[in-house]
């Protein structure tokens, strides 16, 4: 077991390395620090002195890979690659182009993101599985058909419309919820309720279809038919036989995305003014703050890889065939 996990860990490390290299190439080689400075300071009317000062203030004035002016180890460390990319590997996020410490911002903003994303995800999961179970129980009947058409309709509506429409009708016209905003110490749920509800609704279409197909696969297996044949009620078969067996693929799917919830939801957060990592990212994109974008790319990759690892672990834990090397 431990050996298995170690092997997976070794396999995942190069991915982080590659992501890091990729961002380095994208942000510093394809696009030189000069370009970045010019974009920040206004494209046309920029003096060379202003450019140099901007770069020096943010540490972009170093050579890319090899510092010929330095001595000893500084040849390697006094470079953009070392200062900006290698430091990311040890979670030193540095300073944003606007001069704020990114690490502190991340730590502060991760919580609102999590408060929004985790309940949305969990409630959505329960609602989706419950509805999928309902459709599977009535499979082939009108409820199933109606449900399937409804899921396609919901899937065809852009999430933006749910957010815009929901915010307008429920918050602005009917005053059921505050339009937007966030109070870290006060009544957090008052602000989070509407985004959570809308998030669940927007995800219900594809979610129900997905879980329905997983559960149907289980429901078609021999054990389900036998259980039904020996006289168990439909509900008992679903509850005792189909659902527990379907939970394994569902569980592994859930575990994989769980860490990514930290990243927050870009659109939701910016619409409802929630100061999480999603709105942080959007602000960074809009103000072309490459330092933050780079940090978020790396953070996302780390969380993704982390998700892969815990998926493997749950999989091995839940399914002995994997654990004992029987591929």
The Cα–Cα gap between 314 and 41 comes to 50
Q: How far is the CB of 318 from another protein (least distance, A)?
A: 20
HSE-CB of 28 using CA atoms within 13 angstroms: 23
In the list 6, 39, 56, 107, the residue contacting another protein (rule: CB under 8 A) is: 39
**Three-state DSSP state, 7:** helix
Which string of x and - marks every residue 203-242 that binds another protein (by CB under 8 A)? ----------x--xx-xx----------------------
Is 272 an interacting residue with respect to another protein (CB under 8 A)?
no
- CB of residue 3 vs another protein: minimum separation in angstroms? 19
Q: Nearest distance from residue 53's CB to another protein, in Å? A: 20
Compare residues 129 and 293 and give the one whose CB is closer to another protein: 293
* Residue 244 half-sphere exposure toward CB, CA atoms < 13 A: 8
**Residues 194, 201: Cα–Cα separation, whole Å:** 11
Q: Is 8 in the site for another protein (CB under 8 A)?
A: no
By the rule CB under 8 A, 150 interacts with another protein: no
Say how many C-beta atoms besides its own lie within 10 A of residue 110's C-beta. 17
First to last CA, the chain: 14
Residue 200 binds another protein, judged by CB under 8 A: no
User: Which one of the spans 74-82, 228-236, 303-311, 312-320 is the region binding another protein (CB under 8 A)?
Assistant: 303-311
Read off the tokens for 115.
């408060």
Say how far apart CA 150 and CA 257 lie, in whole Å: 26
Pick from 324, 327, 305, 326: nearest CA to 1: 324
Among residues 13, 66, 91, 161, the one that binds another protein under rule CB under 8 A: 161
Interaction between residue 319 and another protein (CB under 8 A): no
Closest CB 260 distance from another protein, rounded Å: 8
Q: Which of 74, 190, 288, 318 binds another protein (CB under 8 A)?
A: 288
Contact 25, 34 (CB under 8 A): no
Q: How far apart are CA 155 and CA 146, in angstroms?
A: 14
Q: How far is the CB of 281 from another protein (least distance, A)?
A: 7
Question: Based on CB atoms, which residue is closest to another protein, 78 or 129?
Answer: 129
Q: Helix or strand or coil: residue 101? A: strand
Which residues are 95's β-sheet partners? Answer: 101
Residues 40/284, Cβ–Cβ less than 8 Å: no
Using CB under 8 A as the binding rule, whether residue 193 contacts another protein is answered as: no
| 293 vs 316, beta carbon nearer another protein | 293
Helix, strand, or coil (residue 95):
strand
When asked if residue 22 is in the footprint of another protein (CB under 8 A), the reply is yes
Using the rule CB under 8 A, which residue among 95, 188, 254, 282 binds another protein?
A: 282
Report in angstroms how near the CB of residue 74 gets to another protein at its nearest.
29
Query: Which residue in 14, 67, 35, 12 sits closest to 290, CA to CA?
Result: 35
Please classify residue 34 by burial: count the beta carbons closer than 10 Å to its beta carbon, then call 0-12 exposed, 13-18 middle and 19+ buried. Answer: middle
User: Within 61-90, which residues bind another protein (CB under 8 A)?
Assistant: none
Residues that bind another protein (CB under 8 A): 14-16, 18-19, 22-23, 26-27, 30-31, 35-36, 38-39, 43, 139, 148, 152-153, 155-161, 164, 168, 172, 213, 216-217, 219-220, 260, 263, 266-267, 281-282, 285-286, 288, 290, 293, 296-297, 300-301, 304-305, 308
């Amino acid at each position: 077991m431990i050996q298995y996990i170690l092997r997976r860990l070794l396999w995942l490390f190069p991915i982080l390395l590659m992501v890091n290299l990729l961002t380095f190439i994208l942000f510093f080689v394809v696009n030189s620090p000069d370009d970045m400075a010019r974009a920040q300071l206004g494209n046309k009317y920029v003096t060379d002195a202003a450019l140099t000062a901007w770069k020096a203030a943010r540490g972009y004035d170093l050579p890319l890979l090899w510092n010929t002016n330095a001595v000893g180890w500084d040849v390697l460390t006094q470079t953009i690659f070392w200062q900006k990319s290698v430091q990311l590997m040890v979670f030193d996020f540095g300073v944003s182009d606007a001069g704020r410490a990114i690490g502190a911002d991340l730590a502060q903003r991760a919580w609102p993101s999590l408060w929004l994303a985790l309940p949305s995800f969990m409630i959505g999961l329960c609602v989706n599985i419950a509805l999928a179970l309902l459709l599977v129980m009535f499979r082939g009947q009108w409820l199933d058909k109606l449900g399937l058409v409804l899921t396609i309709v919901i899937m065809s509506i852009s999430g933006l419309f749910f957010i815009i429409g929901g915010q307008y009708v429920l918050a602005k016209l009917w005053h059921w919820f505050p339009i937007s905003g966030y109070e870290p110490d006060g009544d957090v749920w008052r602000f989070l309720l509407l985004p959570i509800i809308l998030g669940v609704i927007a995800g219900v279409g594809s979610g129900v279809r997905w879980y329905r197909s997983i559960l149907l696969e289980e429901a078609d297996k021999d054990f389900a038919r036998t259980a039904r044949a020996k006289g168990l009620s439909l509900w008992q078969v679903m509850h005792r036989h189909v659902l527990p067996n379907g939970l394994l693929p569902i569980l592994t799917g859930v575990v994989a995305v769980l860490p990514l919830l930290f990243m927050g939801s870009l659109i939701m957060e910016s619409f409802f003014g929630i100061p999480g990592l999603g709105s942080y990212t959007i602000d960074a994109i809009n103000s072309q703050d490459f330092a933050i974008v780079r940090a978020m790319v790396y953070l996302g990759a780390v969380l993704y890889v982390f998700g892969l690892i815990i998926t493997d672990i749950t999989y091995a834990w839940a399914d002995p065939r994997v654990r004992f090397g029987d591929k």
